[in-house]
Structure 1
């Protein structure tokens, strides 16, 4: 039986590698196209953009790996079934449950890989990309602005002007910052400003020195002027907080009690389970008569099942974050449903690996 198991392993791992290469290529192409139209390339340069694409790809691998193996199992076993190799295996005593068991064994190292990516590689990539994104998106960013030019847009409702700057010390001279809000207008004028170093723990900020803040309300009576010697311009938002949570170490999340942190932890720990259960579900899509061409319907049904799972997984995580579902069962109810689906689709048995006839 070892020869058969090695053959099945080869028939599944080869398409797995091919599908992984295709998915990574598509993801990288899409990311490059998206970043080329954003401020990242202009602010950080092409080299940094490709580094950011690499980090985003590492983050995506925790999702791409289960998808690729899911598709590989369906494709590999359908090819064997179409060529009647599955029937030959059955005649020598290698039944459907034995095939299911072999797929389970093959999925274990891939599940470990998915778990390692989710628990260790993903937080590290988020921490690195967090700093780079922050540098590109910071509204007061010395790398983005050139002296003597106005920068602004309708989307941001801001206009920025600096008279001079020193790239080495990240120092700006004569800073003008106009902000439009629903309550009124705010104009900040400062003699100089400094961009402070960014870290994975803190969104970038600008320190403005010796200036004035003009606050112009809708009603002229509410106008005011504030003089300051030092002003910390801090621009953290919900996206930054979400980034920090995703960049946190798994160990720190383990000690957290907040629903957002618990949801993030459960998501990371669920990746190996998702890989294994999706692979076992994929086996059930290969049980068709060898000479019947049902490939299109098989892949459509498989794609539909995965689409439903993927959307439910995001919804389950959101429900835990918002307190709709308690932290226990958390997101695990979804994987209980996947396990139930596996058990219901087993060939003629309510047990996963019966010890009898194989």
Structure 2
């Protein structure tokens, strides 16, 4: 790489490192605050909370890295343009094509890293985070209950109340349990309960309830059901952990599937390098190499609007594949083909406006 290319690459990489650190720090702080607000430490502890934040940050890197590169290209080339260095380079024969190729020498390795994270690191991080999330969201895990307090979950619409509890023998007294269902709701009231630990690895954890009532309230039937029991076994829902998780599935598994949602997830993963590179090229188009055209505020505003539109369109493209609106071909690739075509048209127009000096 020649001196000019190294200089331009450095002007992009330095802000890239700063921006990615800022974005990672902000995301980790936001995730920590959200988990702390959800009282996750009461269930998992500080060590598990830090691990969960780390996993969620790894998952977010596939989005944070392209954003950081997009911003750094605008910042780096924008500074060169503002100080008239791009015009000086152009005056001694450095063409716009050469500048774009330099941007590509930075964007391609970053895109490969983003693709590796999306295809291999992200599924592993999702699998690990689902396990921790399940532990934090285990509504019927009596270890997290405190006597005299209501425990609820917005995700499932479940509310549990225990008047008193003995942590030594896992005994609870005067239990109230409410769960919202699609066709109604269910209320369970019991005088005593005890959590039964599984004796075998494949056995589902469950709770034994004694001397209580079950009220099954439905919106479709004219008469609600009331069941009185002396003893009842209530199995803890572990589907949150055991259910097939598409985002945590191995890339090879998705490759062998013909389900639209699996295809959408696979194409999302393998499109990350292409997306990263195209975003870097789009960022380069916001920089003018002609004198007296530096309008930084307007450039940043347009760049933000373009990225917002791009982000929404990528989500739309993936949703169309998931819903079967678009088949596996063209899949999500139609968006990137349109972006590439737009960049090609822009390059031709720029070449006609500023022909290469002979």
State the TM-score, normalized to the length of structure 1.
Answer: 0.85
* Residues 21-71 of structure 1: CA deviation (Å, up to 9, x unaligned): 111121122122212211212221222222211111111110010011111
1:207 corresponds to 2:206: yes
Q: Alpha carbons of 1:126 and 1:154: their partners in 2 closer, same or farther (altered >3 Å)?
A: closer
In the TM superposition, residue 338 of structure 1 has moved relative to its aligned partner by 1.3
Q: 2:170 aligns with which of 154, 162, 172?
A: 172
- Give the Å deviation of 1:272: 0.2
Residues 132 and 230 of structure 1: is their aligned pair in 2 closer, same or farther, counting only changes over 3 Å?
Answer: same
SS of corresponding position for 1:290:
coil
Residue 46 of structure 2 aligns with which residue? 46
For residues 196-250 of structure 1, give each alpha carbon's deviation from its aligned partner in whole angstroms, at most 9, with x where no partner exists: 69x9xx9x9632347577332456673234676754231536x9858x2111111
Aligned to 2:77: 77
Distance (Å, rounded) in 1 between the aligned partners of 2:77 and 2:316: 31
Contact 1:103–1:280 (8 Å) recurs in 2: yes
Name the counterpart of 1:353: none
1:133-152 correspondence runs (5 A): 133-146=133-146, 148-152=147-151
Question: Aligned residue for 2:239?
Answer: 236
Alignment correspondent of 2:320: 319
Number of aligned pairs? 343
Once the two structures are overlaid, the 10-residue window that deviates more, 58-67 or 174-183, is 174-183
Q: Does 1:60 align with 2:60?
A: yes
CA contact (8 A) 2:87 2:290 kept: no
Partner of 2:196: 194
Residues 1:252 and 1:221: Cα distance change in structure 2 (over 3 Å)? closer
Write the distance in 2 (CA, Å) between the matches of 1:107 and 1:240.
38
Higher mean C-alpha displacement, 305-314 vs 91-100: 91-100
Instruction: Give the alignment of 1:269-348 within 5 angstroms.
Output: 269-287=270-288, 289-346=290-347, 348=349
Q: Identify the range of structure 1 (251-260 vs 59-68) with the bigger mean alpha-carbon deviation.
A: 251-260
Q: 1:260-291: per-residue Cα shift (whole Å, max 9, x none)?
A: 11111111111100000011111110015433
Pick the aligned partner of 2:165 from 163, 166, 169.
163
Partners of 1:140 and 1:206 within 8 A in 2:
no
Matched residue of 1:346: which SS?
Answer: helix
Deviations 1:153-210 (A, max 9, x none): 59645224263335xxxx733473522546454316575323669x9xx9x9632347
2:269 alignment partner in structure 1: 268
Contact 2:137–2:153, Cα closer than 8 Å, also in 1: no
Q: Pairwise CA RMSD of aligned residues? A: 3.2
Measured in 1, the distance between the counterparts of 2:294 and 2:90 equals: 20
- Post-superposition shift, 1:144? 1.0
Q: Does 1:223 align with 2:231?
A: no
Query: Take 1:226 and 1:317, find their aligned partners in 2: how far apart are those partners?
Result: 49
| TM-fit CA distance, 1:143 | 3.0
Partners of 2:63 and 2:214 lie apart in 1 by 47
- The residue correspondences of 1:108-147 to structure 2 (distance < 5 A) are 108-146=108-146
The answer to whether the 8 Å contact 1:285/1:302 transfers is yes
Aligned to 1:92: 92
Q: CA deviation at 1:76?
A: 0.8
SS at match of 2:206: strand
Q: Give the structure 1 partner of residue 17 of structure 2.
A: 17
Q: Distance in 2 between matches of 1:81 and 1:180?
A: 61
Q: Which runs of 5+ in 2 are unaligned?
A: none
SS at match of 1:29: helix
Once residues 24 and 3 of structure 1 are traced to their aligned partners in structure 2, the CA distance between those partners, rounded to angstroms, is 31
